[in-house]
């Protein structure tokens, strides 16, 4: 039972608790990044959260990950799709290609295939 396993833990991991009621996901993720600017998952999640409502800020988080954590492969697909949505097709193509290279080195076949499909979709849309 989860509660029995947790009883012996001195500090409980944050993933076990929902975000405080008075905080939005965006506020929570911004706080995580203030506390740890290199928190790759928080930056990635914040980029995803912001892409509809604040695309400029969303891109700053995707771009940060692409430049400072190029091995964080999850970024490539969503950053590329974001760029396509912004009408920045050539930039998206470059992001997808870089992601394919990274995921190939990592042996991440599923992510590589998703990136290849996205890239192929750009070619067929042209």
Does this model's pTM top 0.95?
no
Angle, nearest 10°, between helix axes 109-125 and 74-85? 20
- Read off the pLDDT of residues 69-91 as tens digits, 9 standing for 90 and up: 999 999 999 999 999 999 999 99
As a whole number of angstroms, the distance between CA 14 and CA 28 comes to: 11
What ranges do the domains of the chain cover? 23-125
- Read off the pLDDT of residues 36-71 as tens digits, 9 standing for 90 and up: 999 999 999 999 999 988 999 999 999 999 999 999
CATH of domain 23-125: 1.25.40.10
């Amino acid at each position: 039972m989860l509660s029995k396993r947790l009883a012996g833990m001195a500090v409980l991991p944050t993933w076990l608790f929902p975000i405080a009621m008075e905080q939005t996901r965006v506020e929570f993720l911004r706080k995580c990044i203030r506390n740890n600017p290199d928190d790759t998952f928080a930056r990635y999640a914040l980029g995803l959260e912001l892409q509809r409502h604040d695309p400029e800020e969303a891109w700053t988080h995707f771009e940060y990950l692409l430049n400072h954590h190029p091995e964080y492969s999850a970024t490539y697909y969503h950053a590329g799709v974001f760029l396509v949505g912004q009408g920045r097709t050539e930039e998206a193509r470059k992001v997808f290609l870089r992601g394919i290279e990274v995921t190939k080195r990592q042996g991440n076949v599923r992510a590589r295939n998703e990136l290849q499909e996205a890239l192929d979709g750009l070619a067929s849309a042209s």
